[in-house]
Structure 1
Amino acid sequence: MSSPEIRTRRPAELALTIGVFVAVFASLLPLLRVVESGSWVPGAVVLSAIILAIGYICRWFRLPAVAVSLVEAVVWVVIVTVSFLRDTALFGLIPTPESVRRVPDLLRSAFDAIVQGAAPLPPEAGLTFFIVAAMGLLTIVIDHVVLTARMPLLAAVGLIAISLIPSIAVPGPINVVAFVLLAVAILFLLRIEVRSRHRSKAAPQTSRSVAGGVGATAIGIGAIGVVVALVATPLLPAPVTAGGVGNGIGASIDPTLSLGDDLRRPADVDVLRVRTSAPSAPYLRAVTLSTFDGDVWQPDRSRTLPLGDADSLGPVTVDDGITLTENSTLVEVQNLVTPWLPVAFPAVEVTGLNGDWGAVPANRTVVSRDGSSQGQQYRIVTDQPRPTLEQIRARSADGAGLGPELLALPADLPPVIAQTAAEVTGASSSDYDKLHDLQSWFRGSDFRYSLEAPVEEGFDGSGADAVADFLDVKEGYCVHYASAFALMARTLGMPSRIVVGYLPGTSTGEMQEKQTVYTVQSGQLHAWPEVFFGGVGWVQFEPTNSLGVPTNFASETLATGNPGETPETAPEPAASASPLSTIDPLDDGLPSGDVQAGATRSATAAVPTVSLVLGILLALAIPAILRVLLRRRLVASARKGDAAAAWRSIQDQALDLGIAVPASESARLLGARLVAEHGAPSDAMSVLVQAIERASYAPGHRLHPERGQEMTDAAAAVRGSMLRSVAPARRLLAVAAPRSLVVRPGSVYAGTVQAGSR
């Protein structure tokens, strides 16, 4: 290699090394959504920096490419050993057989954390080892692809795919900073690599047209990332795990009432299987929220006792004369990764759990101390108070003896909330009747369930201002109904809180031990309010229009059956409870117009699926579109007399058809092989070979406008003949997945030619 070329390559190699480091770092940032920040962040960053620095030093001394990768691999082994396996290593540096035996244990620990944990995962030792070691290997691979093979486009595709994995595993907003940083780093790599080839005397065939074409391709690759990240990824369904044992990060529960994005997912997954001794499936609670600061309802952070402790889930206490009905519910978790266990209310006993679990006596919820709900199978025993209508009306909801947070209201609460509550309940005297009036008002024809209207109107939340907007627009989903009901109850002097959990499941038609099996889907994630009545306890209400089971208490005079038998507290749900994703209204006396609205929303729910399909099709079509655009640029340059552009179009066509274009083969030899073996016309090929040889040996006279049309026609004839010489399947593959977008002619991946084939 000549000294001018060395002087050209070394600054380019330094710039490429820096670009690779920034790109790898940017692909690491989205992991912060899945794993809590810890030692793995600086560990991965430092390891990547050291590997790239070692690689640059090795190339400075002109070591062979294989030697560079081997040295980087040795450095990776040493650093990983020092960081995680030092106690079993020789001199703390050299791994021993014991060190190797430790690796599967660390990987198993990492995979268990991924399968059983809830994002963000704690950075325990196994997970930290896995991330740091994987990022080191990724750095070695990307370094080889970019600096040895000089294929930054291929590296870009890999880095974009890796950076999207956290978004797919834990759907949420795109990390804009990481995405932009990665895009800039990729474009920087492309630019530096193109400029280095353009300036090198060893590549006289490179021209401005080729550089411009690669720039267009770079923009196209960025477009692929944008389409996938901004269109397809948010529409992907939650990852599905099989059976009762998870193999990925499944559905989860958001305890902050930010349920809008979860409910708007286009596809549901089964999260629970339930069967119960009760006449129908119960609501299953996970978290209660009692503190409201005007903007956010905060999850309760009450004292937790070990599950099984005598005081963790004590007996239900009610006034004399109020019946308690005992039921048993069996829950099998299929695809739900959360530390909050879905349980029926009020639970007095939960058995069958694996791991360390605690119970919150104040709200009878159950939470994990060292794992998650995934794969659990457990039984819940409940004692449900069943007061009659007369008994509930005789009791007040004044909050005596309860914490002040259950009645607290922000100082700047919009007046419309209290005014509306007073207007709706003005004709009723008892606390229960007032709450029943509120429930009936929300479930009436004035309100409409909608997952989209809140977003369009800008109040996709549960704060006081969002509630005021909701009361004006009268469209929203469970979060708005529950928050509005709870705040209106507080303005009437009644203690309230919000519960996050799941609606009653849908009957599968299957029977086990004479009990109906219900399935609960991710789209049935729900929020509802509760109000405390003295002598009865917390009573749930269901204000969400067209969903769930509205709370009603039957009069003692209407009770049927044996004398003294207590009637049920509420009408039982239909055999198939309505999933949140389909929003089919229950048969609870709503006007037929709501049925039509539910059907309309079901049709609207199909729109994201169509968008997903169109987004995927667009992403799949982008390589072919980019190939057409790049070829047009080359043809336009060839028409102006650029021989390098005309020859590059032939090389790219050969690569797309799977034909080798090695660096060791001259233009004349390649042309002869394409004529002899791949159907290229000899006269047209002769025109192109003479033009590229003239341009290569006379670099100051690369443009020959007078021969532009002749070269363009010759190149078109050669490309057409090569296409016709291959099978239709190979031709289709060349169009749909053109290799020339990621493989450069003359690179190590462009193939080799057997000696006998020339």
Structure 2
Amino acid sequence: MRPDPAPLSRGQRLALTAASFLLLVVATMALGPLIAGSGWWWLCAFIAAGTLFTGAGLRSIRTPASLVPVLELVALLLLLTLVFGGGTSIALIIPTQSTFEVFGELLTGATRTIEQQSVPAIPVPALTFALAFGVGLLAVLTDVLVQTVRMPALAAAPALVPTLIPGFIIEAGADVPTLVLTAAAYLLLLRVDVRVRRRATLAADPVGDDAATVVPPARVPIVSTLGASLGLAVVGLLVASVLAASTPSISTSLLLGSPGQGNLFARGVSPFIDLGRDLRRPEASPAFHYLAREADRPYFTLLTLDRFEGEVWGATESSVDGDNTVDQLPRPVGLSDEVETAEHPIDVIVDDVRTTWLPVPYPTTSIEGLSGSWFWDDRALTVRSVDTNTGGQRYRANRLVVEPTVSQLRNAELPRSAEFDQFLELPEEMPAIIGETTAAVTAGASSPYDAAVAIQAFLRSTAFDYSTEAPVEEGYDGGGFDVIAQFLETKAGYCVHFASTMAVIARDAGIPARISIGYTQGTPTQERVNGVQRVDVDSHDLHAWPELYFDGVGWVPFEPTPGRGSVPDYSRPGAGEAGTAPVQSAAPATPGAADRSDLDPDRGLANPSGGAFGADTWWVRGSLLAILAVVILLLPAALRLGQRITRHGRMRRGERPADAAWEELMASARDFDAGGDVAETPRALAAHLGERPAFAAGPQRDALVALRDAVERERYGPAVTGPGGARLLDELALARSALADDATPVERARATFMPHSLLERARALFGERSRVGA
């Protein structure tokens, strides 16, 4: 590197360093839409200042130009050690082998958090380390271009790096004000360079080949250089704006999304648990729909978060195993043969969601019909692809339905294997309210299962409200320790806060816990495919829920979020044998929390202390339950009576009275198990009923024949007036009484309270469907 023909003074070098620093820190502001808060920016400014001004100091003591960049890299290493090295360094700034191991872990963690977080990302240590390291390298490059090579115009290249990155992440790209400020800083750098270069030329002795033939004035006119500087700045601004605006964002790529929205949740799914934006969107975006047996309404898991670093939950990174193909998935970890299981197929058709994680119920035994390469993860049995995404996929997931009993869960022991230690890890320091809540809620629990149910009941109590707005308004959105502490005080949040809180409290109580990210059951529609009801799932069904581990049962899902999803039967307070209800929580109710929206389908799952009834009004709850049971018992009889009254009304009004009478006779025959198949003709049914003892002779037989003749005449004969409605009512009453006389008391009771004709009709409308393609 040849020296500058007009050497710069210390002051001039310092002016260029200051201008370079300003350009770099202003350009770094372009990352603001991607990262929450401003602490990360101040750290980057500190690293940039330390690196650049170290170079200025080295030049002031006449360090060889070729050594300055190397020593600047050393200064960068010392600064990173000071900030991130912690106890692994010597005298806080001298790195050791352990320091480099920490740096390696931080870089690996940075890659993971970039993959798993949405924007704006939480600046966890791994992410801030990557930012600081990157800005430090850009600072060294900028200093080389401006000070060593003496080509400051090329400083636009390192400045463009942070300004272009937003264009790859969000559709809006960098903010326009930031681009303008960056262009202004670039203009200032060029202006400073021109001024110091001219002043250095004026100060140099005019001798040798570089001597000027005309001695310039002692003062450089400002106008002489302003035009060129402005022109270069305008060009830089235009180039930066065009590049930032035209750069494709990840949200419009096939990796994480599809065109249309400006955030990663628009039609793709971020694996991080910040689901609030999609839940707050006024209009839901379709994700997928599925066809399943009537009782199959599972949650669909995308991925599982098992690492908690105090500020954010994350998924442990693991490489894809080419042998883990989805044609056969292993049995879930910890599930013993004593737990009852069943396998049910579910057909899934993806609509608009685009993600490399496949929505599948946990656990799943096999998946059929996928295009591309899909593999299951060894740890959580989640499914992901290495060469495609969910766009346009149609597949069948064979779901393994696990049905543990309360006694199996209550008798389950906590795992003692070291492999579950990671599911108990918590940072050493945490807010006191978390430990206090754990102690209060689980006090007196006789088993880990009872403690888990008590935690769920505490969070679902009327002390807490479901709200997607409160965390944003109060500034505690997310899933970290501080957020959980504020959530426990404010008692308002959505699934992220409830799931994170239950998982942390469970870990604090010694129960292994993790968080699943995916979708709730969705919304059934009126559409049917081959007789199977279609269920739609959209972005408003995005959900987070905790899973706790019990030996012999495996990972068991819980639902602590009020008003969302469904609560598993085994986790409901009072489930199991009498006298084994979960521990009651003594947490005080939040004023006004009892006015929770009726959208919560499980408000009654709250602890009695937080409900509207006290312990001394147990008889009120018992009476209500008894009345409800009676109503349910009498409902079929009431519906059947209403059906009979409707047909009698048709007969009295003369609206095809014979047809109405015959429909009622067929329904009565089915109720008494005496025939009445819809495929039977009136003559065939009359012949069949005529063989019964009650129709052997007398008015009952005459009534049956009269009803048969009337309906045949009305359906197939000429349009002549038949028997009147009053007469048909009398004959129908005789025929029904004959059917009742032939039935046993049990059959008569069953015909009244559980009429077969009504149940068969209900099964035809809402009963079990055959699978697609059957």
TM-score between both structures, scaled by the size of structure 1: 0.44
TM-score between both structures, scaled by the size of structure 2: 0.43
Bigger relative contact order (CA 8 A; separation at least 6): 1
